[in-house]
Amino acid sequence: MTIPIAHVDEFYNEVVSKLQGHIKQSVMDKQDGEVRWRDFRMEDPFGFYLRFTELIDWDNKLTTLNMKKIRVLVVHGGMTFKNEKDYLHYLRTKKVSTEKRIYWTGDYLEKSLGKGFEIIVPRMPLQDNAKYRDWKIFFERYIPFLGRHFV
């Protein structure tokens, strides 16, 4: 996942001080044609690869943007099953744990990403038994509200 941020070096220093073991690539200069920017890469607590990069307006080839907050739509849930029997089996055999987990919702993303982001965490339809048809309708209704700059 690529996440554009306004002050990549400051954010990198904060991340290194807290999560150094998750850094996969230190902050460095990048270039694509005439466009130059800085980014770094890390692995989140769940093993997903994240790339934090400076804001780039590719149309105008600028690495700083005068814009409102970037909206982040958090998509979660999404398990699927071939039939109801498999789904019920999953519910009966799913590992139950009382261990504290880090969730994307709540303050985690807001604190991690900073003030330049607006976090949107809707409840996804049928999270534990997702159906393409339902999620398609959901996204068709949400996308118009995200604007031009969203993740």
Q: pLDDT digits over 96-110, tens only?
A: 888 877 666 667 777
Place of tokens 């996204």: 139
User: pLDDT value at position 58?
Assistant: 56
Give residues with Cβ within 8 angstroms of 5, minimum separation 6. 11, 52, 53, 54, 55, 113, 114, 116, 117
Could you give the number of structural domains in the chain?
2
Whether 6 and 72 share a structural domain = no
Please report which helix (H) or strand (E) contains residue 82, including its range. Answer: none
Q: State the pLDDT at residue 67.
A: 47
pLDDT at residue 26 greater than cutoff 90:
yes
Same domain, 73 and 131: yes
Is the pLDDT reported for residue 30 higher than 60? Answer: yes
Do 41 and 26 belong together in one domain?
yes
Which residues form the domain of 90? 67-151
Is the whole model's pTM more than 0.75, yes or no?
no
Pairwise pLDDT comparison (12 vs 31), residue with the higher score:
12
pLDDT at 128 over 80: no
pLDDT of residue 141: 80
Is the pLDDT higher at 57 or at 18? 18
